[in-house]
Structure 1
Amino acid sequence: MNMLPWQTCPEDYEQLFAQKCVQVESDMRPVSLPQAQRFSSSPESYRVRAEFRIWHDDEDLNYVMFDPESPRTPVIISEFAPALEPIRQLMPQLRDYLKVRPTLRRKLFQAEFMSTTTGERLITLIYHRALDEEWEEAARVLAEEFGVSLVGRSRKQKRVIGQDFVTDEFVVNGRSYRYRQYEQSFVQPNAPVNQKMLNWAWEQSAGCSGDLLELYCGNGNFTLPLASQYPNVIATELSKSGTRAALENLRANEIENVEVVRLSAEEASQAMAGVREFRRLALLPKPLSDYDLRTVFVDPPRAGLDPATLDCVRQFETILYVSCNPKTLKENIQALEDTHHATSFALFDQFPYTHHIESAVVLRRS
């Protein structure tokens, strides 16, 4: 029987996490770093999202995943231990429900689940056929019976029953923050570890002077709590859905000292250097040059920071850097060693039972 990484026994988790940390710490040795703080995950019930292909076999129907080492062989998923408990409870109920309802089952290709630490649930069903009124009527009954929101997708179609987002809640330094998280948009996948990351970032910001520039802000995951540490924050994000969610989350949490601007990191770097002017920056309440930007927070994609963005962040007193790729993080730290040194280093296990890990450093001007 094929096994996927997370199907390892939960009893082995702490040992696997320790081994992963040792490997990353060894790989990072060419750069000068303080001892890493290690933040583990829950061994089970941590993922806010789960996605499965639907496998039809005569009258039977199952969720399946594919092992990268055997990509043509489906692995039936009867239980998905990494998912938050509301997803784990919903999965078998939905599978049995769909089996006997042809209107919802026909040409169903994929099922996606989102949940929150507060118990909200959202299902996305993806089809290889057009969704008609008969489908929508059946989908409304499903959503009502299960007490969920539901999104149906097919080519050039999106039908929403209820809402296409869930709202989660995290506590940072004793304050509760509410986050609207949209279906098929990026969210931090591991809820317990995200809680730890938010508090770590907030603590590292204590004592930082001046205003904050945040690149790659997404839905405002870090922006919301960090805003309490700075007089003003400029947060940039290229994704339209991310920008929309960030603005909605700021309003919902009554945070008024943050300006969200839809710019890429490269564009923000050009604006900071005075190379280009952007109309979107004209919406700021005052010119960009009037902000006292001394701290920058970055959470880039796996490729890390491009050369222009590296030149930009080099100008800041403090760089808070969260990375999903230790290799590019190491390369970026090495590129900044002539101006900054690391004062804090942390490892967060966003992806238990895999080799992936989230790293974070604080770099201060030497």
Structure 2
Amino acid sequence: MSLSFDPAEYEQQLAAKRQRLVELLKPFNAPEPEVFESPREHFRLRAEFRLWYEDGKPYYAMFEKGNKYKPILIDQLPIASRRINELMGPLLEACRAEPMLGRKLFQVEFLTTLSGEALVSLCYHRPIDETWDAAAQRLADQLDILVIGRSRGRKRVLSRDHVIEELEVNGRTWRYQQVEGGFTQPNGNVNQHMLSWAQDAAGSNDDDLLELYCGNGNFTLPLSTCFRKVMATELAKSSVYSAITNMEMNGVENVTLVRLASEEVTQALTGVREFRRLQGIDLQSFDFGTVFVDPPRAGLDPATLELVRGYKRIFYISCNPETLAANLLDLSSTHRVTRCSLFDQFPYTHHMESGVLLERV
């Protein structure tokens, strides 16, 4: 069966999200939000499935939250990319036919791109070694995919562990390395809208940008064209490595990347603490006029709130409108919301991505 959903309800669900955002931002006299819709189908570039066995035959399975014993068996997932849906059947058939691939396989993870690449991770409840590699390579050649094998404590990579995405932002194509297991925006079309909106709202500046939580450089690359220099910070090593690669692939040379948590950035910029990771970086050479934050669901901590308050402009991308509103309550004494937006990254769910631009009063 296919997992059910109703595209006919999309407009109504999006309108409800918009109204929820309007109500949350009403105390801050925010302008009307710009709304960026998602494709109704085939918008999700990542998907993972547990396998459920009946009479020894594997099926893709998903589960209702909190119930891991009653599977929903599926053969297609309309919200997933067309490439994922094209691969689901042939991949499972190949694993059924080849014991080296199918034995004790318990999970399949797909990572696809708008540019057409696909990486599939096969996860096992048994050790895998070089004898698995030959069968996996045949599968990769047959389906024109990248394949990774995972078992406890082991990861076998046949060629590479990443895909290369291409995103169109205001007429320019940016290339991104997206690593298996790393965070990437799941809805590529809406991500392009997010990046274009951020770049447009940033405009042209003769001062510098401070970016916290930069990840693999998703926003960093297009925003680098809007500022004299950028200092981007990220804590996760894998994301830092991808961000460096992405800057090199795109010829971006005005970004300084620093591996620090947001709390550490606050300590460094306020002179509370020195960091060995900042050796060779002249913080005094930066003239930050704008700060860009894309925090986790918990929002900004009190120290980071105080840090960002010191800048003329604050770009805030949020995956949790409730914590966004709570943070705006703190920031509204010094800044006002001049632009806001709703990015429908997650259709058919209550989740939404939103963005605001705050300017000092």
Which TM-score tier does this pair reach, normalised by the shorter chain?
over 0.9
Amino acid at match of 1:228: T
Residue 308 of structure 2 is aligned to residue 310 of structure 1 = no
Residue 279 of structure 2 is aligned to residue 282 of structure 1 = yes
Residue 81 of structure 2 is aligned to residue 84 of structure 1 = yes
Residue 27 of structure 1: how far off its partner (Å): 3.3
Cα-to-partner distance string for 1:318-351 (whole Å, 9 max, x where unaligned): 0000000001000111101111110001000000
**Structure 2 matches for 1:2-81, cutoff 5 A?**
7-68=4-65, 70-81=67-78
Question: In the alignment, what sits opposite 2:354?
Answer: 359
Residue 269 of structure 1: how far off its partner (Å): 1.0
Taking only the aligned residue pairs, the percentage that are identical comes to 49
Contact 1:59 / 1:99 at 8 angstroms: preserved in 2?
Answer: no
Amino acid at match of 1:107: K
Contact 2:315 / 2:358 at 8 angstroms: preserved in 1?
Answer: yes
4+ residue runs of structure 1 moved beyond 4 angstroms?
Answer: none
Amino acid at match of 1:337: S
Give the Cα separation in 2 of the matches to 1:202 and 1:306: 26
Q: Which moved more, 1:270-279 or 1:191-200?
A: 270-279
Where 1:123 maps in the other structure, the secondary structure is strand
Residue 209 of structure 1: how far off its partner (Å): 4.7
Q: Report the TM-score, using the length of structure 2 for normalisation.
A: 0.97
Contact 1:209 / 1:295 at 8 angstroms: preserved in 2?
Answer: no
Where 2:126 maps in the other structure, the secondary structure is coil
Give the Cα separation in 2 of the matches to 1:315 and 1:164: 40
Of 199, 202, 206, 1:202 maps to: 199
Give the Cα separation in 2 of the matches to 1:22 and 1:64: 34
Cα-to-partner distance string for 1:137-167 (whole Å, 9 max, x where unaligned): 2111111111111110111100001211000
Residue 23 of structure 1: how far off its partner (Å): 2.3
Q: Which moved more, 1:8-17 or 1:215-224?
A: 8-17
Question: In the alignment, what sits opposite 1:142?
Answer: 139
Residue 191 of structure 1: how far off its partner (Å): 0.5
Question: In the alignment, what sits opposite 1:344?
Answer: 339
Contact 1:342 / 1:364 at 8 angstroms: preserved in 2?
Answer: yes
Residue 244 of structure 1: how far off its partner (Å): 0.3
Residue 69 of structure 1: how far off its partner (Å): 5.6
Aligned pair count reads 361
Residue 207 of structure 1: how far off its partner (Å): 4.1
Give the Cα separation in 2 of the matches to 1:319 and 1:351: 25
Cα-to-partner distance string for 1:17-64 (whole Å, 9 max, x where unaligned): 112221232233333211111111000111111111011222321111
Give the Cα separation in 2 of the matches to 1:169 and 1:11: 30
Residue 303 of structure 1: how far off its partner (Å): 0.4
Question: In the alignment, what sits opposite 1:171?
Answer: 168
Contact 1:296 / 1:319 at 8 angstroms: preserved in 2?
Answer: yes
Give the Cα separation in 1 of the matches to 2:159 and 2:83: 18
Residue 328 of structure 2 is aligned to residue 333 of structure 1 = yes
Unaligned runs of 5+ in 1: none
Cα-to-partner distance string for 1:155-184 (whole Å, 9 max, x where unaligned): 110000121100011111211100010000
Question: In the alignment, what sits opposite 2:185?
Answer: 188
Contact 2:35 / 2:341 at 8 angstroms: preserved in 1?
Answer: yes
Residue 272 of structure 1: how far off its partner (Å): 1.1
Residue 110 of structure 2 is aligned to residue 110 of structure 1 = no
Contact 1:208 / 1:318 at 8 angstroms: preserved in 2?
Answer: no
Contact 1:208 / 1:295 at 8 angstroms: preserved in 2?
Answer: no
Give the Cα separation in 2 of the matches to 1:73 and 1:26: 38
Question: In the alignment, what sits opposite 2:223?
Answer: 226
Q: Which moved more, 1:103-112 or 1:324-333?
A: 103-112
Give the Cα separation in 2 of the matches to 1:141 and 1:280: 44
Amino acid at match of 1:195: Q
Cα-to-partner distance string for 1:220-253 (whole Å, 9 max, x where unaligned): 0000000000010000000000000000000000
Instruction: Give RMSD over aligned pairs.
Output: 1.4
Contact 1:209 / 1:294 at 8 angstroms: preserved in 2?
Answer: no
Give the Cα separation in 1 of the matches to 2:27 and 2:67: 36
